Amino acid sequence: MNTEALTARDVDRAAAILRAGGLVGIPTETVYGLGANGLDPDAVAHIFQAKGRPQDNPLILHIPSADYLERYCEKIPDRAYALAEAYWPGPLTMILRRKPIVPDVVTAGLDTVGMRCPFHPVCRAILEAADVPVAAPSGNTSGRPSPTTAAHMWEDMDGKIDAIVDGGPCSVGVESTIVDLTETPPRLLRPGGVTLEQLEKVLGEVAVDPAVTRLMGAGERPRAPGMKYRHYAPRAPVTVVAGDPQKSAAYIAAHAGREDGVICFDEFAFLFTGQEVEKLGPAADKREQARHIFDALRAFDHTQVKAIWAQCPAPSGLGLAITNRLNKAAGFHVIQV
């Protein structure tokens, strides 16, 4: 298949491909998504094929505003509208009861569906022009780090999908926060651009699913099926070193070999002149770190490094999402200093 290169000027072309049952790589503020018409089961099935994604890992439906929720969801609680009012459009996915119109292949047979209203202007224009809910997971090959630039999309999907729309680098850089509103208290299934603290402001108490902070055991069934799979992983094994940045940098400097790679805060890059280094951003700037995390992980796949050592921020605010992605990339191989 010849994959078409589209830009922000080709919104109508992207929408036409989606309506015709095709697959389009779409920029969003979180990561690039791999979109298809969410009401067309054949089109949605092709997403799983292109990504090599397990069939039991459901997708998120993307809509232009909260007004569309009633088309696809039922028994929508007031707190869903309160969250939408506060954080939509934006990097937040709500799990709600689905209506039968949503195909099984989107939800992996669950009676719930993930709903998101993205902020990215090109994405919004495509959603409006397509006039269908767009089912989209992250646009990476299953297991690889999520794509945060059009170049990452081409790396994984060239020849496998109909088109890729270049909307520039993603401004958030980690996938959406997922909160399950079918439970009381609501449950954080995946940390992202809308922080736990922001959710609590609107919802009060929010439970944090254990899969956010630790490896799920073989017999455990996570609430977000995607969480049981190895994720975001570069080819070389990753070790996360958590704790005070001065100490984690010193630990890595003492332990990293010449053939290893290092992901570090900008201030500490000078310690690693002998190694391949990917800078995450300043130690105090979590927004910048979130924007770089996936590109940093991907970059090592173009090198011969034997192992990767990573500094990581404190798990508050956006740091919870960054820590979660790094820990998953490391298979929760974490050293606390």
CA-only gyration radius of the chain, Å: 19
d(CA 277, CA 164): 29
Considering the complex, state which of residue 25 and residue 137 has its C-beta at the smaller distance from Mg ion: 137
Considering the complex, state which of residue 242 and residue 318 has its C-beta at the smaller distance from ligand AMP: 318
Of 88, 37, 60, 66, the residue nearest 175 (C-alpha) = 60
Amino acid identity, residue 96? Answer: L
Considering the complex, state which of residue 58 and residue 145 has its C-beta at the smaller distance from ligand AMP: 58
d(CA 320, CA 297): 17
Q: Is 113 in the site for ligand AMP (CB under 6 A)?
A: yes
205, β-bridge pairs: none
Least distance to ligand AMP from the beta carbon of 48, Å?
Answer: 11
Considering the complex, state which of residue 224 and residue 318 has its C-beta at the smaller distance from Mg ion: 224
Considering the complex, state which of residue 179 and residue 240 has its C-beta at the smaller distance from ligand AMP: 179
Binding residue for ligand AMP (CB under 6 A) from 138, 148, 239, 323? 138
Binding residue for ligand AMP (CB under 6 A) from 3, 28, 37, 112? 112
Number of residues interacting with ligand AMP: please give it, by CB under 6 A: 19
d(CA 145, CA 215): 18
Of 316, 266, 256, the residue nearest 289 (C-alpha) = 266
When CB distances to ligand AMP are compared, the closest residue is: 226
Provide the 10 A C-beta neighbour count for residue 99. Answer: 13
Structural tokens at position 126: 């495509």
Contacts with ligand AMP in 146-185 (CB under 6 A)?
175, 178
Least distance to ligand AMP from the beta carbon of 112, Å?
Answer: 4
Contacts with ligand AMP in 50-79 (CB under 6 A)?
57-60
Considering the complex, state which of residue 268 and residue 294 has its C-beta at the smaller distance from ligand AMP: 294
**71-79, 205-213, 219-227, 265-273 -> range binding ligand AMP (CB under 6 A):** 219-227
74, β-bridge pairs: 97
Is residue 322 within 8 A of residue 289, CB to CB? The reply is: yes
- Only one residue has tokens 């007031």, namely 78
Q: Is 189 in the site for ligand AMP (CB under 6 A)?
A: yes
Is residue 85 within 8 A of residue 150, CB to CB? The reply is: no
Contacts with Mg ion in 117-176 (CB under 5 A)?
137-138
- Only one residue has tokens 């409006």, namely 128
Q: Which residues bind Mg ion (CB under 5 A)?
A: 137-138
Q: Which residues bind ligand AMP (CB under 6 A)?
A: 57-60, 95, 107, 110, 112-114, 137-138, 175, 178, 189, 223-226
